[in-house]
């Protein structure tokens, strides 16, 4: 009760300031310049930034090399037969940092052409967003197959595009992801072949020896790991994945 009596005068002293405050949120304003450009207030910029962060995982999978890498590494783990080793966290971490290595030239272009001028307040947000899309568009077009572009173009009923700049992002992204899935499974198939041969040889030997109750995976696992280590498999896989994105 004593604390309540102490706080009452403080609350009463704040009432005039609350009454004189402007209704609504004064920070939510869009100012139109003399040249017709629109400038957003800090509050709206923060709101847009938080919304963009929520879409970042989807953009990571749809617009970068992450999809191809994570699928190939998952197929490699399945081919080795080690089940949960390396773990999902390790595979995602490897895929993420290898994607950063591959996408670094694109990120540098985005910073030089869009993000840097925007942070220096030399460019409005809308123009910066348009310029940031150009390096990603170039990367995605280099990795997208023409037949996949034609597939989604026919589905959408769009006309033929004269230049690559005419391809909309709504059509380019599904075509890019489809191409990445095809390439990832092709690389995964090549990786699976030598390990499949080892499994077949071990299974045939066990069948000929009458040891049908013994799982071939138990015998073939050490040989597959030994083969993978002897040929320096991790370096080969990582190097092949990085080289597969070169133009």
User: Rounded distance, CA 218 to CA 125, Å?
Assistant: 58
pLDDT at 156 over 60: yes
Q: What is the mean pLDDT of the chain?
A: 78
For β-strands 38-40 and 30-32, DSSP reports them as antiparallel
DSSP state of 185: H
Element containing residue 120 per DSSP (H, E): none
Ramachandran angles phi, psi of 38, nearest 5°: -110, 135
206-247 pLDDT tens trace: 888 877 777 777 888 888 888 888 988 899 999 989 988 885
Q: Give me the pLDDT at residue 247, please.
A: 53
Q: What is the pLDDT of residue 216?
A: 74
Can you give the pTM of this predicted structure?
A: 0.74
**Listed residue (202, 146, 177, 151) closest to 67, CA to CA:** 177
Residue in the block written with tokens 């930034």 = 49
Residue-level pLDDT at 190:
92
């Amino acid at each position: 009760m004593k604390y309540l009596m102490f706080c009452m005068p403080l609350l009463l002293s704040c009432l005039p300031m609350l009454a004189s405050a402007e209704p609504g949120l004064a920070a939510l304003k869009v100012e139109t310049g003399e040249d017709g450009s629109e400038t957003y207030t800090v509050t709206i910029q923060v709101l847009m930034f938080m919304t963009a962060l929520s879409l970042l995982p989807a953009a990571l999978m749809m617009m970068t090399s992450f999809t191809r890498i994570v699928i190939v590494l998952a197929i490699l783990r399945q081919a080795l037969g080690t089940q949960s080793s390396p773990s999902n966290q390790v595979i995602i971490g490897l895929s993420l940092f290898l994607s950063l290595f591959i996408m670094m030239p694109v990120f540098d272009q985005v910073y030089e052409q869009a993000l840097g001028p925007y942070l220096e307040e030399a460019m409005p947000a809308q123009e910066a967003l348009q310029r940031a899309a150009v390096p990603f568009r170039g990367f995605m077009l280099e990795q997208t197959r023409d037949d996949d572009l034609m597939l989604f173009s026919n589905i959408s009923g769009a006309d033929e595009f004269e230049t690559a700049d005419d391809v909309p992002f709504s059509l380019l992204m599904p075509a890019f992801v489809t191409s990445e899935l095809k390439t990832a499974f092709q690389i995964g198939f090549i990786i699976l072949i030598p390990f499949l041969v080892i499994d077949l040889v071990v299974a045939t030997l066990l069948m000929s020896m009458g040891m049908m109750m013994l799982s071939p995976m138990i015998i073939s696992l050490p040989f597959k790991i030994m083969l993978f280590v002897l040929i320096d498999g991790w370096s080969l896989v990582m190097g092949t994945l990085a080289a597969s994105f070169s133009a």
